[in-house]
Amino acid sequence: MSDTQAQGQRTTASDRPVGGSLRLLPPVQGATERLSAHLARNGQARCRGTALVRAVGQAGLTGRGGAAFPTDVKLAAVAGASGRKAVIANGAEGEPGSVKDAVLLRHVPHLVLDGLQLAAEAVGATEAYLYTGAWLAGWVRQTLAQRADDVPVTVIEAPPRFLSGQETAVVSRVSGGLSLPTFSPRRVSERGVNGAPTLVQNVETLAHLALIARHGPDWFRQLGTPAEPGTTLVTVNAGGRRTVTEVELGTALADVITAVGTAVLIGGYHGTWLPMTTALSLTLDNRALRRHHAALGAGVLAVLPRQACGLVETARVTRYLAAESAGQCGPCLNGLPRIAAAMAELAGPRPRRGTVQAVERWAGLVTGRGACHHPDGTARLVRSALTVFEVELGRHANGRCSATTHHPVLPLPRAEEMPLTDEDWL
């Protein structure tokens, strides 16, 4: 198995950044929307402060970073705290299959930065941070220099780690530490950056918030489903490309996935494999996906083409996830490498009998036993692979494999980009 595909989170020439836009992305594709164009298209924010918190609640906006937590609840929690407060726009995007945050920051940085200012104002924060990869940090600083913001924004570089966007890891890095998940009984909305109550929102969530401040909750609800209103950005991984598309929640998946394949990975590398036939019958919202134990996550969809083997691809990803463990919690540090090695065996010819049962047992043992959800997400991915690729498991037991190519499909960073020292988390 060779992990030589040179794809990090950075958008590459082979990516087709924007596949479709509705609200967030500008109508003219491929270009950055300048401040004047942004104001001409979106106008000025009319709803601010505590009224905005209410409007966001009426709009039913949920976090677009993966957890789909109600945004107004987080806003109200930090707004209700006293003393020094902070807001962080989270654009770390550690997920190799996702480029939507990068596309958003590249194309409509002013919409995101407006959202950051409005959120800071609404919760009464005096410090604002934008946390994103090193290749975008300089770009965001240049953009900030063109603006006259009330709350000064500090750009913090996120290391290219899978877990660097995890909420407590974000707060740790912004506070000056390593971007490692921490275990604390206090939420970051009570005790975040250097002890200050902190609001951490994904950059896409802030962009939606900036639009709600302009057009109101009723406008926001015109698209999407009643339970999950609005639009969302998805990154479709197909044919070696990552394409970012803005879709309504509740859109038929058949309209989003046009590539041919045998299965779809939904929700990124902590997500769930579904057979293509199942996926094409579903709609893109958590209510529909939940019935199949899947979730939208950060909106990553990856198509497994006919010529690839789902077990080989899952084994590659599992090895990557094991290597990206922060190494802090025993079940994750010890369990994930074992699961990864067993998955590599299952991806090869004639695995020993009992290996599937061992993987299932270990997946159960690591679930729920980490400071963050890294072991849970990895176990979810592996379990769904064992279910969806059951026929393929039988082929491998007979020394066969349905793959007709050894070319890797799912994007992963190069092997030499794997973390080895603490500095890799800085």
Partner 1 sequence: MINSAVLWYASRSAGAVALVLLTVVSAFGIAVNRQARVPGLPRFALTDLHRNLSLLAVAFLAAHVLTAVLDTYVSIPALAIVIPFASGYERFWLGLGAVGLDLLLAMIVTSLVRGRLNRTAWRAVHLTAYLCWPVAFLHGLYSSGDLRQGPLFDLAIGCALIFAGAGTWRLVSAAGRLPRARRVAAELSAAERERQTSRSPRAPQGPRR
Nearer to partner 1, 70 or 331 (CB): 331
* Among 75, 342, 379, 412, contact with partner 1 (rule: CB under 8 A): 342
127 near partner 1, judged by CB under 8 A = no
327 near partner 1, judged by CB under 8 A = yes
Distance, CA of 83 to CA of 19 (rounded, Å): 44
The CA-atom distances, in angstroms, between 175 and each of 198, 269, 426 are 11, 27, 11
Residue with tokens 């009330």: 150
Distance, CA of 36 to CA of 419 (rounded, Å): 42
- The distance of closest approach from Cβ of residue 342 to partner 1 in the complex, given in angstroms and rounded to an integer, is 7
Nearer to partner 1, 222 or 405 (CB): 405
- The distance of closest approach from Cβ of residue 190 to partner 1 in the complex, given in angstroms and rounded to an integer, is 13
* Among 49, 331, 387, 417, contact with partner 1 (rule: CB under 8 A): 331
Which residues between 353 and 372 bind partner 1 (CB under 8 A)? 369
- Here's the x/- map for partner 1, 285-324, by CB under 8 A: it reads as ----------------------------------x--xxx
Strand partners, 131: 90, 156
185 near partner 1, judged by CB under 8 A = yes
Nearer to partner 1, 34 or 338 (CB): 338
The separation between CA 188 and the C-alpha centre of its own chain, rounded to angstroms, equals 19
- Please enumerate in sequence order all residues whose Cβ is within 8 A of that of 260, keeping only pairs 6 or more positions apart, or say none: 303, 305, 306
Nearer to partner 1, 58 or 328 (CB): 328
Which residues between 128 and 157 bind partner 1 (CB under 8 A)? none
Question: What is the C-alpha R_g of the chain?
Answer: 21
330 near partner 1, judged by CB under 8 A = yes
Distance, CA of 244 to CA of 254 (rounded, Å): 16
Count of positions (residues) in the chain: 426
- Cα dihedral 308, 310, 316, 318, rounded to 10, equals 170
To 5 degrees, how large is the angle CA 5–CA 271–CA 335? 85
- The distance of closest approach from Cβ of residue 401 to partner 1 in the complex, given in angstroms and rounded to an integer, is 4
Residue with tokens 């609001």: 199
* Among 135, 348, 387, 397, contact with partner 1 (rule: CB under 8 A): 348
* Among 58, 175, 334, 387, contact with partner 1 (rule: CB under 8 A): 334
The answer to whether 93 touches 99, Cβ cutoff 8 Å, is: yes
Binding site for partner 1 (CB under 8 A): 185, 319, 322-328, 330-331, 333-334, 337-338, 340-342, 344-345, 348-350, 352, 369, 396, 399-401, 403-404, 418-422, 424-425
